[in-house]
Chain A
């Protein structure tokens, strides 16, 4: 659904003082296509990015140990 985004209008759009209640995510947002080859879910994208972060920390730890 490129270029078209589903949105939700909150009940109680102008929230009275002291009232709460905007949900964090909805089903549509969590299932939105990533558009990346072979990766359907955003959760997978996040795990890959996290893995790259761990790799960088590992590489830098190796650099520290090797050259200090």
Chain B
């Protein structure tokens, strides 16, 4: 990165944060601090919901997944549109009707105080853990490739997002997210254009797809019933739907976004915006990764994308082995490149037999490059046991730094920070709100002034920010960052969703039954996670089903519940 890149990066990030703070500098009451002024347009809600979910991990890890494993990860999002429809039709009207600040307030009204605290507590645990990963993920990758200090990167980026989230509350989060997602869209489109321009002359988009497909990178839908496969249409639609129902429907970081709408209509349209655009957005990012893979068929990639780890090991006694493996890799890559060119030439000539022969030879050469990579990873691990040998998170950033022009490099790094800030701000805002509304105001100080609760919200938001920064400073890197986030979510989300589905649909089950069912279910999910080897997405469904079934069983042994016709109360207008 040169001066122009730093100017673009700092200008974009500090500019958006400062503008958000200035526009939302007056927040006098709890309602406007936690929900904004209640005048948010549906497009802002839609972009805000999207920005909260799309963290930096999305833009670092997902292209790497596309490069490494192809676009099959898109199936993970197949359940999202279905879940968002259910939320818009069922969850949202109830939240808005009851004018709740947090989703867990609803559990308190439907069941009892202990169930509300359990739901809020599970959210705080899993989101608190996830918040550390959100801030750590981009920092570790960027500090490694840029040579920045990891702790300084975490602290600087963390403090900036804490500053404007504490200052402006929900309104600042919504406002800044709108501009941050704009930066993200522009940056990712620019990366695609540069990528397509840099493909070899004569190679059009369909050729690129053919090459990617020839390497099995375009298997978007897998109908296999094998439960060991992590991403299939079944895990995506079923597990993904339960994950999305939990995340969008019960996670306060999302609920808070769409409760800020002017009306039910604005909130619903914001959710439908995401239902329509979630799959294409993820597909676009994965396809970008698959196209980077195609690009590297014609340009030689590094044998290991985390070059800092490679150079460290080379300087600490593994140099000869690493250079020998790099030579093997380069030889195999040159052969592969020749076969890919022959494959495309035969394809253009209409000689399908020759094309298949060349493709088979290219796949064989690719297997040799992969063998060299596997051996390199073994050497790196032997040189330093702490080395993370999954380098897929470094693929896209390596491409950006190596092939994008200056100015655009700064913009793409700004994309990563913008995504970090947007998701981080949503999380901190939700953590602060839940702590104040569900614990502090509900249990500790029940009779303070509105002004007092605004100050408390600011303090708790800042505290959660410092917790996240602290967690990020001492975190260990997971195998793949986006999977780590989803795994943590999947372990907790199923049970939380079970609480809400019982509340919405099983009217004869009361608070005591569902509370103990949730406790038992969460314990069972932990047990299953450490004993089974199924796709983590299934834990969303398992946790939810366990909670619903066990609560129904417990209720049989408890006094019968009399449903209250809550919706027959007087209608009032606001």
Contacts and interface: CB of A to CB of B under 8 A. Distances in A.
A5 B569 contact: no
Contact of A21 (B99, B212, B564, B574): B564
Given A4-B573, A28-B571, A19 B510 contact: yes
B81 interface: yes
Contacts of A56: 279-280, 283
Nearest to B283: A60
Interface string A38-60: 00001001100110110011001
Contacts of A36: 269
Nearest to B272: A49
B386 interface: no
A22 B94 contact: yes
Nearest to B72: A64
Interface string B201-214: 00000000110111
A5 B567 contact: no
A68 B85 contact: no
B425 to A, nearest CB: 26
B510 A24 contact: no
B568 A11 contact: yes
A18 interface: yes
Given A23-B565, A23-B566, A67-B213, A7 B96 contact: yes
A17 B78 contact: no
B127 to A, nearest CB: 25
The range of chain A's interface size is: 35 or more
Contacts of A18: 112, 510-512, 558-559, 561
Most buried by B among A1, A8, A18, A45: A18
Interface string B497-516: 00000011101111110000
Contacts of A17: 111-113, 510-512
Nearest to B237: A57
B78 A57 contact: yes
Interface string B245-267: 00000000000000000111100
Contact of A15 (B74, B109, B262): B109
Interface in B474-516: 503-505, 507-512
B93 interface: yes
A18 B115 CA distance: 11
A50 B74 CA distance: 17
B233 interface: yes
Interface in B213-240: 213-214, 216, 218-222, 233
B275 interface: yes
Interface in B87-124: 88-90, 93-94, 96-99, 106, 109-113
A11 B263 contact: no
B82 interface: yes
Interface of B: 74, 78, 81-82, 84-85, 88-90, 93-94, 96-99, 106, 109-113, 209-210, 212-214, 216, 218-222, 233, 262-265, 268-269, 272, 275-276, 279-280, 283, 503-505, 507-512, 558-559, 561-574
9 contacts: A2-B262, A18-B561, A22-B109, A22-B503, A23-B566, A24-B93, A25-B89, A32-B265, A53-B81
The 3 tightest CB contacts between A and B, nearest first, are A67-B213, A10-B566, A21-B564
Given A10-B566, A17-B512, A45-B268, 8 more contacts: A5-B573, A7-B572, A7-B574, A20-B561, A33-B265, A35-B265, A57-B78, A64-B219
